[in-house]
Amino acid sequence: MKKLVVIGNGMAAIRLLEEVTRLAPDLYQITVVGEEPFAGYNRVMLSPLLGGGTDEVTITTHPHQWYRDRGIRLITGSPVVAIRRHRRQVVTAAGHKLDYDRLVLATGAAPRQLPVEGVNLDGVMSFRDLYDVRKLLSLSAARVVVVGGGFLGLEAADALVKQGHDVTLVHSRGHLLNQQLDEAAGHRLQHDLEKRGVKFVMQARTAAIESAGTKTQGQGRVAAVRLADGQRLPADYVVQAVGIVPRTELADYAGLSVNQGVRVDDTLQTFDPAIYAIGECVEHRNRTFGLVAPLYEQAAVCASHLAELGHRRYLYADSATRLKISGIDLVSFGDFEGAGTGGEGETLQLSLPGGYRRLQVRDNRIIGMVLYGDVSDAAFYETLWREHADIGARRQVLLLGEAFCKAADRGGDGEEEIAA
């Protein structure tokens, strides 16, 4: 049997293992090396775990027995420290020397550090893995400043409020989730989270994290976050949630091509034909990745080639972003701000107590969308978007959703047929 070594045991790696063992169950002797001392778990569920809505057993998707049942050797808690390409061998911190015929890098990404003084003080944390959640759950009630108004920052802030902490979130932009939501939806989200107890400081840049008893940073314990305008936010803990950085160190040291991430072609192969890479560590056609859907697609394409069924290519396709922020459903896709070029556009909006809808239309075709709260029609709108469908005949009822549009297609006025 050939030898397959996978570096990383996150969600992309696990999906790869599922696919390879399904497509070619007898082709490889597989070894997985995970840096964390855990079996496979669902990172998406870390926020509910922090908020008390689930437990570690529930979020463990692939226990140790799953690997044993498939003859996969799982090494945990011992990161790979070197790739010896000339020998086709990897070396772990515990001294394991693992030969390979094919190697897959699924090393993921690391939390981005704030570029300010004080990030190494005691009490400065990240929110990225199960270790981080355990540390956050161990805190006594305290003042916590969360820096970053993206998905992880918002999830962390809301969960920490549920744990009894006094939480202030600092965001550099004018509205939350500024890459996924328009201004109206972002403000609505802020309002809903404020009602739950999260405080916000918007359009604010972090200048430094200050330590107790001194004006210099770098030693001691967190005392406050100082903003660029001079405002000082007292803090016992600071949670950094300002994005991720692909982990490329191993690939770089091994002499592979690295830019923002590990460079791969459409088969997820590096320039070394024995080495593939998938997930958040990857750069494909000048793009890096952080959402689950493209990672799973990469894993499927890579697995088809590892299984020697190499007929698939990975070509990134813009897809809807689906998020659940503290129980609030959000979906967005495309040019929802209407910022692209190519003809005049039109914005269709509907705001209701339970939700918000914005459709961006150009030339009678949907080019972008934001749904907040009620996302039951997301798949319908996404299909119209992908198929470049002409929505002219449905324009009057489009915001009301699929049922009204189908009624209009049948020649009714929508409202009468739905009422009937």
CA 59 – CA 45 distance, rounded (Å): 6
10 Å Cβ neighbour count for 133?
21
CA 337 to chain centre: 22
- Structural fold of domain 124-240: FAD/NAD(P)-binding domain (3.50.50)
> From residue 336, how far is each of 288, 339, 370 by CA, in Å?
21, 8, 6
Which CATH class for the 2-110+244-306 domain?
Answer: alpha beta
Cα Rg of the chain, angstroms: 24
Helix %, strand %, coil % for the chain, to 5?
30, 30, 40
pLDDT of residue 223: 96
CA 307 – CA 298 distance, rounded (Å): 14
Taking Cα atoms as reference points, which of 387, 351, 350 lies closest to residue 366? 387
Taking Cα atoms as reference points, which of 81, 79, 8 lies closest to residue 43? 8
Mean pLDDT, consecutive 10-residue stretches, the chain (420 aa), reads 97 98 98 96 93 94 97 97 98 97 98 95 96 95 96 93 96 94 94 96 97 65 97 97 96 98 98 98 96 94 95 87 84 82 77 91 94 94 94 92 89 50
> From residue 401, how far is each of 184, 329, 350, 364, 408 by CA, in Å?
20, 16, 11, 16, 11
Give the bridge partners for 324, in sequence order: 329
2-110+244-306 and 321-419 have identical folds? no
- Cα dihedral 199→171→322→383 (10° resolution): 120
10 Å Cβ neighbour count for 222?
25
The number of CA neighbours under 13 Å toward the Cβ of 348 is: 22
- Structural fold of domain 321-419: Enolase-like; domain 1 (3.30.390)
Domain segments of the chain as ranges: 2-110+244-306, 124-240, 321-419
Tell me how many degrees the CA angle 129-31-56 measures, rounded to the nearest 5.
30
Identify whether the C-beta of residue 271 lies closer than 8 Å to the C-beta of residue 263: yes
What residue type is 333 in one-letter code? F
CA 175 – CA 189 distance, rounded (Å): 9
Judge if pTM exceeds 0.85.
yes
Residue 146 in tokens:
């969360």
CA 357 – CA 352 distance, rounded (Å): 9
**Exposure b/e, 5-20, CB count within 10 A at least 16 = b:** bbbbbbbbbbbbbbbb
Taking Cα atoms as reference points, which of 203, 290, 175 lies closest to residue 243? 290
